[in-house]
Every structure is written in C-alpha cells, then in structure tokens.
Amino acid sequence: MRRTLSRTVLAASLAGALTVGLTGTTATAGPVAPVDGSSGIGDPYWPLDGNGGIDVASYAISNRYAFAEKRLSGRTTVRLRATSDLSSFSLDFLLKVSKVTVDGARAGFTKTDGGHELRITPAAPFAAGSEHTVVVTYADRPGKYAYAGERNWLASRREVVTMNEPHMAPWWFPANDHPLDKAVVDVRIRVPKGREVISNGELKGKRTGVRSTTWHWRADEPMAPYLAFFAAGDFTVARGRYQGLPWLVAVSQRLGEQDQRASMRLMKKSPAVVAGLEKDLGAYPFSVVGGLTTGLDVGFALENQTRPTYPSVGGSYTSIVVHELAHQWFGDDIAVARWSDIWLNEGFATFMEWRWAETHGGRSGDATLRSYYDNVAAGSDFWSVVVGDPGADKVFDNAVYGRGGMALQALRNRVGDQVFWRVLRTWLREQRGGNGSSAEFEETAARVSGQDLTAFFDAWLRTPAKPARTADNGLG
C-alpha cells in the first residue's frame, strides 16, 4: 500500500534499507543487481517480524477450517509493491505451503529461520516500484507451531478465534507481519453448514452449499496484520445502527446461558462507548464497530480493528470495552512505529479508561494518578520498567499500562486540561491512518503546549525510578 509515513518512521525505514543493501542504485555506481529482501523490517524486539523490500496493499484470504481436526487450509492472495530491486523476498508464515505463484507463474519457495520465514523466489526479479500478485496455497494444523516463545492458536473442537498480540497472522495467513505495513484485509472462511464466522469490518455475504457455508468479511480501512482476525463456531449475533454508525456484535453459544446474556449486554454497549469517546477524541476512525465474546478460555481482550475480541467477563465490566475501543484510535488508526513505542497504545487506552470513569460518576484521572503514586512503593518493580523502551520481555508489563496512563494524566496536570486535549487531538489528526513514535508524540506535546517537556518525559518514560513529586512532573 502506498501511504505517507511519519517523519521518524520514514527516516528509520530508509536507514534500514541502506543497512541491508536494498537500494537499487547508489550515488557513485551504476545499477545494483537485485538482492534478497531482508527477513525482517528492522524492529529490534523481534528481528524476523515484517520483511524488507516489499509493501503490501491487500490480503485476500480464502480458508477452510475443520473443527474436529483443528486443520486450516486455503490460499491467500497478496498484492504488493517492491520497494527495492529484489531477486527474492519473504513473508511471515508458519504453516506448510504446497504452492506459490507470482503474477500467475510458479515461484520457488523455502522455509527459513525456524520455519517462520517463507522465502519466495519469483521467475523474474522485481524492479523497485513494480506491483505484483502473490498467491500462497497451504494446509496444516496451526496448533503445532510456536514463534518467539508463543503458541497462539486458540481452538477447541467447537470454536476457534485468532486473537493475539504482537503476533497472530502467521498462524493463519502469510503476511508482512509488522504494524509499519498496514493493508486492506478481505476474509473468506468456509466452515460446516450451520456454523458462524465473525471477522473484521462488514459482512459482505455468505454462500451456503449442501454441507458448508463460506462467510465473506471485508474491512475497507488498512490494518496492521495482527489486528486481523476470524472466529468460527456457534455465535448469537446482534446488529444495528447507533447515531448512524453500523454495529455488529457476537457472543459464543458455548458459554452458559447467564454468561451469554451478560456478555451480550456488554457487547451492545460498544456503539455508545464509541460515541462517548468521540466527545474527547473526535470522529471514530472506522466505518463500522462491534465486538465478539469468545467461549474459549483466553484470559485477555484484544483490539482487533473494528471488532475487538473479549473473554466472558460479565455485563458490567464497561472499562474493558472502553479500553479496547480507545485502541481503535490509539493502536489501530495510529499504529506503533516500533514495538518499543507500545506505551502509545496501552498507556493511552488505560488513560481513556480513567477518563471514562471521571465522566461517568467515578473518581477523577488525577485521583487515580495519585492513588498509584501514593500506594506503590519506590522500591517496587513497577518503577523499574523503562516505559518508553520496556524490552520485548516486558512489552505488556503492568507498568506499561499503569505508568503509561500516569504519564498522560501527569501531562494533563502539567500543561492544563484545555492544552492537553488539544495535544491529543493534534496527535490524532496529524498521524491519522499511519504510524507514530514516542519521539513524535513528545514533539507534538511540546509544540502544542509551547513548553520544554524534555525533563518531564525523561522522568516518566526513560528513568527506571519513581518520578519526584514536583509540579514539573505533573505532581505538584
């Protein structure tokens, strides 16, 4: 997909391309021979995530799922543009592949790097700027596979849901698996007749045969690969429109009757929560909204674009819906530039939970900030995490959520309420649809507020210690 990269991301991408030798020409020599695209986009947390030399425009996924065998088969059509002269390139994919074509011609392929990288060699090299259609055919049992210490396939003999972060796509479709490469996702899943499939975006139709039904979903706005999902099983579905926004929610029938009713009440709050968040953040960035409650024992919720996925938590746990729907702005519409920027997702969604509480009869965001500050001892591990760069092993540490939310409320205290919301809205407007880094957010906050916030962000994001209780740190 062609898109406008943010300044920091563009600079980093160019630097990474030069490092691995993926430029087609140099200032001092003639054309350079095509090279193998790198097996990674350049993220230090997970070096094999994403791939060098390609930019994906769309994925058309057509899969069949067999519940009893927990077997997935199908093919994915990847439309991409070469960003360098390439003799070969990679996609991130774990399953067994039987065939690859590029522009209709058979291509060579191998699995490398522990089976995570699908290395594809087209019949003819790619020229920088050229566009291509890649079709990958596969069949396997996803539950056999692990990557980066994760076994992410969630399935029983009656239900499956593809939800996880930072990695999920390689278990069910070949992808350029990093948030830097957003693409349009079109999903067709064939299941036994009588079963439902839920995915991102809008239901475009379903085709029922004698024994099976193929469900077709499409999300029109590009997304990071880990945000794409499907769930298949037995679901109760409800839909409607709220203030003009179409919504669709689903609840697993594998849950007990009481849990089903409670979960449906919670899911149906989704469009009203979006309307509430819009009061602070501006227009919802997507064309549909919804949610899905799985009957599987997943233990977490995830911000899948347009339709977050949840465990069964009861009907009154509105804060979890607020958190995942806040991610539609912070994490989905504006994705991280690198995984070290994760506080921009989790800290912001946590802060919006606090904001929701203060506007719906609960305690203020400042009271929540001070409760954390007063009740967590200085020697706690909570303060030892470097929130602005926590490391791959702590990317979802509680401190990333809690201290990330604290940093935003402290910023609100420091610059004042009106300026703070102007900072957030400016950030959302300027980064819309793209990727963002912590450095860029800090620059936006300083520019909009007219203040030097270097020491403030050093204290909250880069110092592995409890910030001092000072006005400069938003704690006066």
Three-state DSSP at 73 gives strand
Residues 52-70: what's their mean pLDDT?
A: 97
Inter-residue contact 473 to 410 (CB < 8 Å) = yes
Can you say whether the dihedral through the CA atoms of 16, 429, 365, 350 is positive or negative?
A: negative
Q: 124 and 28 in one domain?
A: yes
The DSSP symbol for 150 reads B
Query: Per-residue confidence at 31, pLDDT binned at 50, 70, 90?
Result: low
Q: Has residue 97 been placed in a domain? A: yes
Q: Please tell me the distance from the alpha carbon of residue 456 to that of residue 410, in angstroms, as a whole number.
A: 9
pLDDT value for 6: 37
For residue 126, give the DSSP letter.
B
Which of 294, 328, 362 finishes a domain?
328
- Count of CB atoms within 10 A of residue 383's CB? 17
Tokens of 218: 């499409």
| Pair (209, 247) in one structural domain | no
Print the domain residue range for 241: 234-328
Task: Tell me the mean pLDDT in the region 393-398.
Answer: 97
Helix (H) or strand (E) holding 87, with range, is: strand 86-92
Banded model confidence at residue 390, pLDDT cuts 50, 70, 90: very high
Both tokens of 403, joined, read: 């201290």
Average pLDDT of the residues in 145-162: 97
213 shares a domain with 180: yes
Examine the domain organization and report whether 143 and 41 are in the same domain.
yes
Q: Is the model's pLDDT at 12 over the cut of 90?
A: no
- The answer to whether residue 157 is domain-embedded is no
Q: How many domains does the chain have?
A: 3
Task: Round the average pLDDT of the chain to a whole number and report it.
Answer: 93
Cα 140 from Cα 148, distance rounded (Å): 19
Shared domain check, 305 and 348: no
Residue-level pLDDT at 10? 33
Kindly report the CATH number assigned to the domain that includes residue 105: 2.60.40.1730
**Is there a domain that residue 154 lies in?**
no
User: Are 344 and 306 in the same domain?
Assistant: no
What are the structure tokens assigned to 194, written together? 């009588």
Distance CA 32, CA 26 (A): 8
**Average pLDDT score over residue span 111-131:** 97
**Tokens coding 37:** 């695209």
- DSSP string over 41-57: -S-SSSTTSS-TTEEEE
Beta-bridge partners for 91: 118
Same domain, 208 and 112: yes
**What pLDDT was estimated at residue 30?**
56
- The answer to whether position 156 is within a domain reads no
Q: Are residues 39 and 93 both part of a single domain?
A: yes
Query: With bands split at pLDDT 50, 70 and 90, how would you rate the model's confidence at 165?
Result: very high
Fill in the amino acid letter for 211: R
pLDDT in tens, 347-364: 999 999 999 999 999 999
Edge-to-edge strands, sheet with 230-233: 154-155, 160-161, 230-233, 196-199
Q: What pLDDT is attached to residue 375?
A: 97
Shared-domain flag, residues 316 and 369:
no
Q: What is the pLDDT of residue 5?
A: 33
- Measure the CA–CA gap between 75 and 174, rounded to whole angstroms: 9
Measured CA to CA in angstroms, residue 346 lies from 246, 252, 274, 407 at distances of: 26, 27, 17, 12
Residue 476 resides in a domain: no
Tokens for 291, please give them. 């949610």
Residues 382, 436: contact at Cβ < 8 Å?
A: no
> What tokens were used for 142?
């996803």
Do 426 and 284 share a domain, yes or no? no
Q: Rounded to a whole number, what is the distance in angstroms from the first to the last CA of the chain?
A: 47
Task: Give the pLDDT confidence score for residue 86 in this predicted structure.
Answer: 98
Domain contains 467: no
Judge if 313 and 367 occupy the same domain: no
Give yes or no for residue 25 having a pLDDT over 50: no
Specify if 291 maps to a domain.
yes
- Number of DSSP helices (H) and strands (E) in the chain, helices first: 10, 22
Query: Which CATH number fits the domain that encloses residue 279?
Result: 1.10.390.10
Higher pLDDT pick, 23 / 143? 143
Spatial distance between the Cα atoms of 162 and 311, rounded to a whole number of angstroms: 13
Tell me: do 244 and 391 sit in the same domain. Answer: no
Q: Is the pLDDT of residue 188 over 80?
A: yes
Q: What is the mean pLDDT of residues 107-116?
A: 96
Mean pLDDT of 423-436: 98
With cut-offs at 50, 70 and 90, classify the pLDDT of residue 330. Answer: very high
- Among residues 226, 339, 322, which one has the least CA distance to residue 271? 322
The answer to whether residue 113 scores a pLDDT higher than 50 is: yes
Per residue in 245-287, pLDDT (tens digit) is 999 999 999 999 999 999 999 999 999 999 999 999 999 999 9
pLDDT at 18 over 50: no
Residue 236 structure tokens: 């109760």
Among 96, 105, 110, residue whose Cα is nearest residue 126: 105
Closest by Cα among 164, 114, 170 to 138: 170
Does position 20 have pLDDT exceeding 80, yes or no?
no
Q: Does residue 192 register a pLDDT over 90?
A: yes
End position of a domain, from candidates 328, 356, 388? 328
Asked if 85 contacts 211 with a C-beta cutoff of 8 angstroms, the reply is no
155 is a domain residue: no
Cite the DSSP H helix spans in 190-317: 257-267, 270-281
The domain boundary, picked from 328, 359, 392, lies at 328
Nearest-CA neighbor of 373 among 399, 341, 406, 401?
406
Q: What is the largest CA-CA distance in the chain?
A: 71
Write out the DSSP string of 430-468.
Answer: HHTTSEE-HHHHHHHHHHHHTS--HHHHIIIII-SSPPP
Rounded Cα gap, residues 60 and 136, in angstroms: 11
Cα gap 430→419, rounded to integer Å: 16
